[in-house]
Amino acid sequence: MLLKLTGSSCSGKTTLAYSVGERLGRLAVHDFDELGVPEGADRWWRNRMTEMWVRRALEYQVRGVDLLLTGQSPLGEVLASPSAPLLDGIAVCLVDVSDEVRRDRLTMRDSGRWDPPAVEAFLGWAAWHRKHAEDPRCRPDVIIDNSWPEMAWHRWAGWTADDRRWSTHLLDTTDRPVAESVDQVEQWVTEQRNALRSGRLTLSRGWSDQTAARTDHDS
């Protein structure tokens, strides 16, 4: 299955993922940008790379290995990737942090690289991620407009926030020790694996063929 840690920059995704990879077996860990980011990388590039990583997850899947992938592609982009329905399971976790901490981390990690407008863009992207995780109808144009033509946005275009398939786990790392956050991600990975094995994972194979999967309070 594909386990995706998403979110804007400097939330701690990569650190958490590789630490969890040292603890769990049959789990490959990769960073979305590890192959390099070309100058002028745009939405098309991110869409195509998301599809490439989905295909890599399928290669691992054949070998009985799950892929824990870090990067900034949100749930909507993962689900719209051409090969996504072939995965046995999909689970996404938004690793978030307060704006103040993110701003400080950007300054410390890349001192002098980002001017104020660029920093505000990172914060705006983080704010959009939070809203997207809650409701697929919240500004889908942010990722759909001018996207790679192969993306299948129609798969979830009609979903609402109460559809159980629209599920992103939230982990806020603000003021949380790294070790505690690693524990939380390890627990999340284990829970998603167990849910897949027991048939409880809402984004298991066949999710794209369902008409709706409402939350319990709508039953």
pLDDT at 114: 74
Asked if residue 91 has pLDDT above 50, the reply is yes
Confidence of residue 30 (pLDDT cuts 50, 70, 90): very high
Asked if residue 40 has pLDDT above 80, the reply is yes
Top-ranked range on mean pLDDT: pick from 28-42, 115-129, 193-207? 193-207
Number of domain units in the chain: 1
Confidence of residue 216 (pLDDT cuts 50, 70, 90): very low
- Token representation of residue 107: 């300054």
First to last CA, the chain: 28
- Give the residue numbers spanning the domain of 40: 2-218
Tell me the CATH number at 155. 3.40.50.300
pLDDT at 213: 59
Asked if residue 218 has pLDDT above 50, the reply is no
pLDDT at 138: 96
Of the two residues 38 and 54, the one the predictor is more confident about is: 54
Lowest-confidence pick of 32-41, 48-57, 127-136, 210-219: 210-219
- Mean residue pLDDT across the chain: 93
